[in-house]
Structure 1
């Protein structure tokens, strides 16, 4: 915090050299705006310095972090014992960690923690209730061209001194988190959690096929159950729509409708390179029956 408090003063000093025409070296010759900025640049580190001095009294017992940890201390011990326990478990390689540096989530055998730039949320596993409260679906993740689902989980403690807090994680990490937690996670919002890349792809595959050209089935043709799941009638037909008949790698499929959309999506995902998910949407796979190559644009829902 002290370092951040010195940033405005550092900026002012840098501008003294970068813009000498503003005469910032001479306070009384600077404009009113820069005078106010300079006073604030002096005030901020002064206040943070005083605050840091207050926190350091009584062996840092006044520090907000020490007070947070003290809520979990046993009557005969103090916050340092809690800090030592957290430090010991944090060094183990089996801890669960996720999130950006500014909002890091750490789960050890005993503790659930959320570390932000200026705060620390801590709860003991034996005291908490966890609830999935929200889900956000993003079409593209920063790391790949695949869709990603982020879950928001509310961590509430039975300790009245511990405030509830939210943790956010990728749905693909949900299973690993559950393995590390001792308490179950309730799904109060009835969120559909996609725990694998294939689950996320299947949802995107379905949404893309739904905007494709439909296939009008002849009135005299009776649809049979999907040969993949036998749970629903076949509802898709492979028709080459991506290019002209003799262009591209895709081929015309002459099979009758035999698959449902879900099973075809699972087949499409199973034929992909698992190490390169960014290529899945643009790739071609063989028809599961006749082996004619097709892409997502060729999958048509039966009308």
Structure 2
């Protein structure tokens, strides 16, 4: 049986979750499924349930266009991307502060990735060269990215089957394609990231 309800005429409630130690494709790792009750406003339409992976929750919420309620007893597992952004942000906040741009120069700018947050990082070579690997290069682009979007870009360019090497890997600038590592992502002076430095 197929149940249908207009999203604008329904409320949504995450009422339970369950965790599994292996993913559907057999790769090791933890996966969480959440159960969502769809409650139509019209009384003649019966309520029903939807089951999704917790990592798809934000996408569903964005598609619906309004917040989905979460029962107090349900704790959503953060996605791999959310966990990586947190680690990336922590590392960037420990990197040297870039002082080449003032907050006034970037006051009207927004991140090229999300178009919401102000740019708060600059790619500038800070790591040391090594004879064993391809070395990072200096990016000449002006600050255009917030740390969260830079983290998402960085993550998307890493081998998805081996998360253990992500922090020690390299990536290219989204614009000029110069090579950088996480040590080259510097918080801008006067940004919230620089204040935690």
Mapped to 1, the partners of 2:159 and 2:130 lie a distance apart of 27
Pick from 225, 234, 237 the counterpart of residue 110 of structure 2. 225
Q: What's the CA shift for 1:183?
A: 9.0
Give the drift of 1:228: 1.0
Name the structure 2 match of 1:283: 169
Alpha-carbon separation, structure 1, partners of 2:50 and 2:113: 37
The structure whose residues are more often strand, as a share, is: 2
SS in 1 for 2:138: coil
Query: TM-score if structure 1 supplies the norm length?
Result: 0.39
Q: In structure 2, how many angstroms separate the alpha carbons of the residues matched to 1:212 and 1:189?
A: 38
- The residue aligned with 2:72 is 188
Aligned mates of 1:270, 1:286 — CA distance in 2: 11
User: Distance between the aligned counterparts of 1:234 and 1:287, measured in 2?
Assistant: 14
The alpha-carbon deviation at position 197 of structure 1 amounts to 2.0
Distance across 2 between alignment mates of 1:253 and 1:226:
17
Q: Secondary structure at the match of 1:237?
A: strand
Displacement of 1:186 after TM fit? 3.8
- 1:110-133 superposed Cα distances (whole Å, 9 cap, x missing partner): xxxxxxxxxxxxxxxxxxx956xx
After superposition, what is the alpha-carbon deviation per residue over 1:165-206, rounded to whole angstroms, capped at 9, x for unaligned? Answer: xx77679522x3538xx5999442795641x32222112111
Q: Deviations over 1:207-228 (max 9, x none)?
A: 1111111112434861121111
State yes or no: 1:297 paired with 2:155.
Answer: no
Call closer, same or farther: CA 1:274–1:252 in 2, change over 3 Å.
Answer: same
- 2: CA distance, partners of 1:298 / 1:250: 8
Where in structure 2 are there 5+ consecutive unaligned residues? 1-13, 22-28, 37-48, 52-68, 190-197
Correspondence 1:178 to 2:63: no
- Distance of 2:105 and 2:136 partners within structure 1: 27
- Name stretches of at least 5 consecutive residues in structure 1 with no aligned partner: 1-128, 132-152, 154-166
Q: Which has the larger radius of gyration?
A: 1
Question: Corresponding residue for 2:160?
Answer: 274
Aligned partners of 1:213 and 1:301 also within 8 Å? yes
1:90-105 equivalences under 5 Å are none
The root-mean-square deviation of aligned C-alpha atoms, in Å, is 3.4
CA contact (8 A) 1:229 1:263 kept: yes
Q: Deviations over 1:237-273 (max 9, x none)?
A: 0111111599952111111101111110110011111
Higher relative contact order (CA 8 A, sep 6+): 2
Q: Which has the higher helix share?
A: 1
Deviations 1:136-174 (A, max 9, x none): xxxxxxxxxxxxxxxxx7xxxxxxxxxxxxx77679522
Q: What pairs with 1:196-235 in structure 2 (closer than 5 Å)?
A: 196-219=79-102, 222-223=105-106, 224-235=109-120
